[in-house]
């Protein structure tokens, strides 16, 4: 059955409708049908509350036909969203273990919860998607989900624990705990638990009020209230509003690192220079102290945790931390979380809490506290002065070029006036720059840690100019909008969008790009920038780049899928065709 067009009436209350329209406008999705907008809205609202970094809902929403009742999905692997099965291998190569969460979403614009649809989704998950073999046809998006699943279970020995499965059924009505629907959900949940594939299965119905609240939560910074009785206030420090040194009972410390579902909050560790390193000797030693019940020794043997907050409100012994980061203590925090069943409040966690809005102070604290243990210099790239300078360059662009460089997760969460596509997180900056100027668009879908290992010495250097970085982000933004405006049958170009950046460079500039550190980079980028003044001006450039990439794909005999987007020969072919057309035009 065809989905309704954007002009057809959808049973939706005015608040939900307004929020969906606001989201669609901020995400450049206005040309979608009403039901498609709702799918993207639900995917964004649900996944954003389980994943703190920026992402594109186009990577989550499943195409029509052969969807097995799945409207959107996300697979979190070690805290990152897996783009494909190869992503799992990249994570394993860097971390050596897998920590997995599957998020499955069905989003219906119906004002009623449909028991048949609830049952069908559960059945398809058990008997098709998470089965060893599939007996029903499915589309390419579902195929990608199945491939990721299979790659994960093929490495079951590296799983830290069985994956978590979270299923969400969202509609525009109200959930009233109908006995039949509750029984249907519980039965499907039990069926999936009995596969023994998952450590936990949740099947959550979400009505209009719940999805509204989830969307609103995407705009807010993280806030936690602690009882911090055992502390001393440090003397006045330049650039610091207040600083406290003390210790927290385990249950109070846990509030800092876990969400309402008891899951660890990855976003509070973004400013920490290293992710959790797994079972290395240091972490194993921390765990052994806990397992042996030597809680009174913990504060003596551990350097503790450093927290930097942008705001702290104090009432008696209650401290409310707003927009905070754990800049040192990621390893300690994760080991404590993993061993929570063996810990009580006799374990005291040494903690330093710093209230500052001064970026230089915050970065200095992060660098100095992390250099007390061995840290590779590449891990500190995101904290360099270059990052701050790049953010300043972005903020000083005229309105027609304005983008927002997000050095810190959810930095612009409270800015409802900013179009989401204009926000550029560090991870996307890395991909766009590496694709356009290091000429590695085939690696853009890889795990960030793997890509950083490949190009770490060539990005974010102190002597680099900001223009090439900004240009690559601006081109990606203009081209992403152009892709969203294409007819549905042409949007298969999206997996190749990073090749469009490379084509753009060679189509419209015949000079050699020397280096991001050269003064000539400014003039080089300025000429290209003129093709990106606004969406209308950028459309001819996008069309030309799209034609180059499609021609290159055809000449190599490739198909329009994600695997082809990893082709090394495609880079050379795109460059060759672009240069030929540039010469012919001039």
Q: Give the DSSP letter string of 309-350.
A: EEEEEEETTEEEEEEEEEEE-HHHHHHHHHTGGG--TTSEEE
Q: How confident is the model at residue 331 (pLDDT cuts 50, 70, 90)?
A: confident
Report residue 329's pLDDT band, with 50, 70 and 90 as the boundaries. Answer: confident
> Residue 272's pLDDT band (boundaries 50, 70, 90)?
low
Distance separating alpha carbons of residues 141 and 67, to the nearest angstrom: 8
Task: Bin 193: left if φ > 0, else alpha if -120 < ψ < 50, else beta.
Answer: alpha
Residues 460, 332: Cα–Cα separation, whole Å? 29
pLDDT of 391 over the 50 cut: yes
Average pLDDT value for residue range 222-235: 91
Cβ neighbours, 10 Å, residue 133 = 6
pLDDT in tens, 398-407: 988 999 998 8
CA distance linking residue 535 with residue 28, whole number of Å: 11
Look up residue 493 and give its DSSP letter. G
Note whether 467 and 519 are within 8 A (CB): no
> Who wins on pLDDT, 510 or 370?
510
Checking if the pLDDT of 93 tops 50, the result is yes
Question: For 116-168, how does the pLDDT look when each residue is reduced to its tens digit (9 = 90+)?
Answer: 999 999 999 999 999 999 999 999 999 999 999 999 999 999 998 999 999 99
Higher per-residue confidence, 325 vs 60 = 60
Q: What is the DSSP string of 210-258?
A: HHHHHHHHTTS--EEEEE--SEEEPPPBTTBSEEEEEEEEHHHHHHHHB
- Residue 277 above 70 pLDDT? no
Give dist(CA 458, CA 461) in Å, integer: 7
User: Which pTM was predicted?
Assistant: 0.78
In the three-class reduction of DSSP (H, G, I as helix; E, B as strand; rest coil), residue 532 is classed as helix
Of the listed ranges 129-143, 179-193, 239-253, 269-283, the least confidently predicted one is 269-283
- What does the pLDDT average to over 358-385? 59
């Amino acid at each position: 059955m065809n989905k309704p067009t954007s002009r057809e009436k959808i049973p939706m209350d005015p608040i939900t409708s307004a929020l969906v329209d606001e989201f669609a406008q901020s995400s450049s999705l206005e040309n979608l049908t009403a039901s498609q907008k709702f799918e993207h809205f639900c995917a964004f609202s649900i996944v954003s509350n389980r994943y703190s970094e920026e992402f594109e809902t186009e990577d989550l929403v499943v195409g029509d036909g052969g969807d097995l009742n799945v409207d959107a999905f996300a697979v979190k692997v070690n805290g990152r969203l897996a783009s494909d099965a190869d992503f799992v291998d990249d994570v394993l190569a860097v971390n050596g273990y897998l920590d997995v969460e599957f998020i499955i979403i069905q989003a219906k614009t119906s004002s009623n919860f449909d028991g048949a649809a609830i049952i069908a989704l559960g059945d398809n998950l058990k008997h098709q998607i998470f089965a060893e073999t599939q007996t029903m046809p499915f589309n390419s998006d579902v195929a990608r989900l199945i491939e990721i699943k299979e790659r994960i279970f093929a490495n079951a020995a590296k799983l830290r624990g069985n994956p978590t499965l979270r299923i969400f059924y969202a509609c525009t009505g109200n959930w009233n705990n109908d006995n039949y629907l509750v029984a249907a959900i519980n039965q499907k949940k039990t069926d999936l638990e009995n596969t023994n594939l998952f450590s936990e299965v949740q099947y959550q119905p979400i009505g209009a009020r719940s999805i509204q609240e989830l969307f609103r939560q995407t705009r807010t910074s993280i806030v936690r209230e602690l009882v911090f009785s055992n502390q001393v206030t440090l003397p006045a420090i330049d650039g610091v509003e207040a600083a406290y040194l003390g210790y927290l009972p385990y249950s109070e410390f846990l509030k800092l690192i876990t969400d309402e579902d008891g899951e660890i909050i990855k976003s509070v560790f973004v400013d920490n220079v290293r992710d959790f390193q797994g079972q290395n000797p240091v972490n194993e030693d921390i765990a052994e102290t806990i397992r042996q019940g030597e809680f009174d020794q913990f504060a003596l043997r551990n350097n503790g945790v450093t927290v930097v907050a942008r705001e702290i409100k104090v009432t008696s012994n209650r401290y409310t931390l707003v927009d905070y980061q754990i800049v040192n203590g990621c390893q300690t925090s994760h080991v404590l979380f993993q061993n929570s069943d063996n810990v009580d409040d006799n374990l005291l966690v040494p903690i330093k809490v710093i209230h500052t809005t001064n970026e230089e102070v915050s970065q200095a604290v992060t660098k100095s506290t992390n250099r007390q243990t061995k840290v590779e210099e590449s891990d500190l790239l995101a904290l360099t002065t270059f990052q701050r300078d790049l953010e300043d360059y972005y903020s000083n662009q005229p309105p027609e070029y304005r983008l927002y460089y997000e050095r810190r997760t959810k930095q612009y969460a409270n800015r409802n006036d900013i179009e989401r596509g204009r926000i550029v997180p560090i991870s996307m900056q890395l991909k766009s720059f590496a694709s356009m100027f290091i000429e590695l668009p085939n690696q853009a879908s890889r795990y960030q840690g793997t890509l950083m290992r490949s190009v770490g010495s060539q990005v974010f250097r102190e002597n680099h100019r900001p223009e090439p970085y900004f240009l690559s982000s601006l081109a990606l933004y203009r081209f992403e909008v152009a892709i969203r405006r294409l007819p549905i049958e042409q949007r298969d170009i999206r997996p190749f969008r990073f090749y469009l950046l490379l084509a753009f460079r060679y189509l419209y500039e015949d000079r050699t790009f020397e280096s991001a550190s050269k003064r000539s980079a400014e003039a080089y980028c300025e000429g290209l920038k003129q093709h990106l003044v606004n969406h209308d001006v950028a459309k001819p450039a996008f069309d030309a780049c799209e034609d180059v990439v499609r021609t290159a794909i055809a000449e190599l005999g490739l198909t329009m899928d994600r695997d082809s987007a990893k082709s090394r020969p495609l880079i050379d072919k795109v460059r060759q065709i672009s240069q030929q057309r540039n010469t012919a035009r001039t």
